[in-house]
Amino acid sequence: MAKRFIIIAGLIILIAAVVGGTIGSSRRLRRSVSVGGSVPNKPSEEIEKDYNEAVSTISSSYAGDIDYEKATQAAVQGMLSTLDPHSMYFPYNEFRKLKEDQDSRFYGIGVTIVQHRDGVYIQSAVENTPAARLGLRYGDRILEVDGKDARDWPSEQVSKHVRGGRGEPVTIKVERAGSEPPLYFTIVRESVPLPSIRDAYMVRPGTGYIGLTRGFQHTSDEELREALNKLKDQGMRQLVLDLRGNPGGLLDQAIDVSSEFLPRGQVVVSVRGRSEYSEPIIYKSRGAEPEDVPLVVLINRGTASASEIVAGAIQDHGRGLIVGETSFGKGLVQRVFQLPFNTGLTLTTARYYTPYGRSLQRDYSTGSFYDYIVRHDLDDAPPQLSPPPAVNPTPLEQTSPTPLSPSGAAVKTAAGRVFYGGGGITPDIEAKPLNFTPVRNRIAEAGFQFTRQLAAGLIPGFESYKVEKVQYGKNPKSGDYPITDRVVEAFRNWVRTDTESQLTPAQLDEELEFVKLRLREEIITAAFSNDAGARLLLDADPQVLRALEALPDAKRLAETVRSGTSQS
């Protein structure tokens, strides 16, 4: 197909969603009139007259000043919101960011920022970026951006103001632990890479881990191929592919990523819609010989859209096992239409289906947009059953899954396994994430504030923990910045003076292992970058640990499917 499509998660800023790139050619939106239903629609000419009359009346009679640009944006978005949760309008700046995200890079300074209780802080500077070269570091609190007070800004607003045109300077004022006066940095924006793959390494001897968590962009499959080759050179014989939190992106990249694991010519996804989709469009795997290593795919509630296509194709064909939580359930296809003056909109034009015909789109006809986004249905619904974790080389016992959505039809997939559509991808093996209770959230916040002082060399007796310079690309060893009993005791003493943490000694005792984990993750982030800290957390991640346990079963499932056992 000459045209390309985007699968956009639509998870908005509320849960830090990212939308991926353009699809197809830019063209004007053509007006269409829906048909059917018990009440006939007004003719388009009458609707247009009503609209023009309303605008004329407002223009001539409204008592105040009218912001026509703002009113037009609201009108377009209001119209789109009556259609579905994923058809959206993008003003100029947001449309520019949409196009930046699709290209796997943007123009900025190269920092990871995080919201804390009293403002936005730099968590890590990205290697070989302007911020890293000028010395911005872990724990720097952002006070101003180009003279504007940023102390009360959320992280999204800080990010918006820090990004800008290539070669343009931005001045940032920060508060640094151990430095009495604030520091000023004038940084020239450059192209900053925004790769799809956050990390790829050997989690255990013979076992690789690839975190494809940052969306499906133009470079996603290329990055995956490079990561696979690197891990194979290191002796990889089995793989955990992490799609948790991946909000989706380009459809062609989802097909290419799936093709890395599926034999050539297998169906990856079908697209069905109206007009140009009078017949389903079927996309099949392509490329060279696929990887045949045992495979487990990790998903969670934030796994959406293009990442659900990959997980659904792997699951339908029995190529690997899916571990984690039920995915978001976004099965609508959007096209991007560029409007005059560089604004744009995404419009749902079709639905996609897994190879065996499951629709993954959740029902959005009831409840609020907020309920749809945060997945309240998962909190209340009974769990959907899936095939048993133990997969034998003999014919698999067929189960009778309970559908999450009554509208979802039962579909028998490879090896006789049954799944239901209409509610996202249900994992083969349910695994809950690390549980963050209110107490653990307070420990995490206190751990950051304490480590900010520790990394600055301000905790008496622990000057050796001062981070002078970030060591990028290093895999930290157990002896690097260890969290000893003395460090824990220093943290206890610091918490006693920190009235905002509201932590008691009993709570710290009860959550001692979590305290050690968070302190270790924070100091490793400060010393070796954000990616190193994230890798450390993976080593204690219950979903990752369950995925590792499932690899032998994934191997047996793939062998069963290849032998043709229990296939219909």
Find all residues with CB under 8 Å of 396, minimum gap 6, and list them: 387, 415, 416, 417, 557, 560, 565, 566
- Among the listed residues 305, 327, 501, 529, the single catalytic one is 305
What type of residue is 71?
Answer: A
Distances (CA, A) of 421 to 245, 363, 471: 21, 11, 47
- For 102-152, the three-class secondary structure string (H helix, E strand, C coil) is HCCEEEECCEEEEEECCEEEEEEECCCCHHHHHCCCCCCEEEEECCEECCC
Q: Which residue, among 101, 90, 32, 114, has the nearest Cα to 530 in the 3D structure?
A: 114
DSSP bridge partners of 241 = 210, 297
Find all residues with CB under 8 Å of 43, minimum gap 6, and list them: 33
Q: Which helix (H) or strand (E) holds 332?
A: strand 332-338
Q: What is the rounded (10 degree) CA torsion for 255, 260, 261, 264?
A: 70
Which residue, chain included where needed, has tokens 């043709």?
564
Q: How many CB atoms lie within 10 A of CB 127?
A: 14
Distances (CA, A) of 193 to 104, 106, 110, 129, 188: 6, 7, 8, 9, 15
Q: How many CB atoms lie within 10 A of CB 468?
A: 9
Q: How many CB atoms lie within 10 A of CB 71?
A: 14
- Among the listed residues 155, 221, 270, 330, the single catalytic one is 330
Find all residues with CB under 8 Å of 266, minimum gap 6, and list them: 284, 285, 313, 317, 355
Q: How many CB atoms lie within 10 A of CB 495?
A: 23
Tokens representing 401 are 């899954």
Q: Which residue, among 332, 309, 326, has the nearest Cα to 257 in the 3D structure?
A: 309
Tokens representing 450 are 């304490």
- Among the listed residues 316, 428, 531, 541, the single catalytic one is 316
Q: Is 42 a catalytic residue?
A: no
Are 138 and 455 in contact, with CB atoms under 8 Å apart? yes
d(CA 13, CA 156): 8
d(CA 247, CA 476): 30
Phi, psi dihedrals of residue 111, rounded to the nearest 5°: -130, 150
Q: Is 316 a catalytic residue?
A: yes
Are 325 and 430 in contact, with CB atoms under 8 Å apart? yes
Q: Is 3 a catalytic residue?
A: no
Residues acting as catalytic residues: 305, 316, 330
